[in-house]
Amino acid sequence: MSQAPPGRTARGEREPGGDHGVDGGPEAAMRTMYDLYIVRRTQIYIDERQGERLAEIAERDGLTMSALIRGAIDAYLDQSRTAAVRMERFRTAVAEAAGTVPELPPGAEYVDAIRPDYSERARELWGEPG
């Protein structure tokens, strides 16, 4: 398991208290970050309100905005994978259950067979011929 950069936990949170600097200056800190994390730099566009909310949450939780965004992406991707797994399990169950009761007649014929004959009741209520 790789280690977090100095001053950060494994989740990207700031470590409480202490000096968050790195011996060797900013260049060493940058080298350390990229030696420990394999990341892909990308750029996204967010509106002002989103940026303000992210900054507030990051400050409150002691995270960077990048860590928040990575966490949101992970949650979204995990949710998509979970939904896909559930759908695949559902389809498998339907496929396995299909045709397990072959003695049933086709749809309309089956419904007509189990539905009561309402002609007598219709005559009573509306005087319609049965």
**Tens-place pLDDT, residues 2-53:** 566 566 666 666 665 544 444 555 555 555 555 456 778 889 999 999 999 9
Q: How many CB atoms lie within 10 A of CB 125?
A: 9
The per-residue pLDDT for range 67-123, each reduced to its tens digit, is 999 999 988 888 878 888 889 999 999 888 887 776 777 888 888 778 777 777 777
Q: Give the pTM.
A: 0.41
Structure tokens at 19: 């000096």
CA–CA–CA angle 9, 10, 16 (5° rounding): 10
Q: What letter does residue 4 receive in the DSSP assignment?
A: P
Contacts of residue 6, defined as CB under 8 A and 6 or more positions apart, other chains included, come to 20, 21, 22, 29, 32
Q: How many CB atoms lie within 10 A of CB 113?
A: 9
Q: How far apart are CA 56 and CA 51, in angstroms?
A: 9
The Cβ-side half-sphere exposure at 120, using a 13 Å CA radius, reads 2
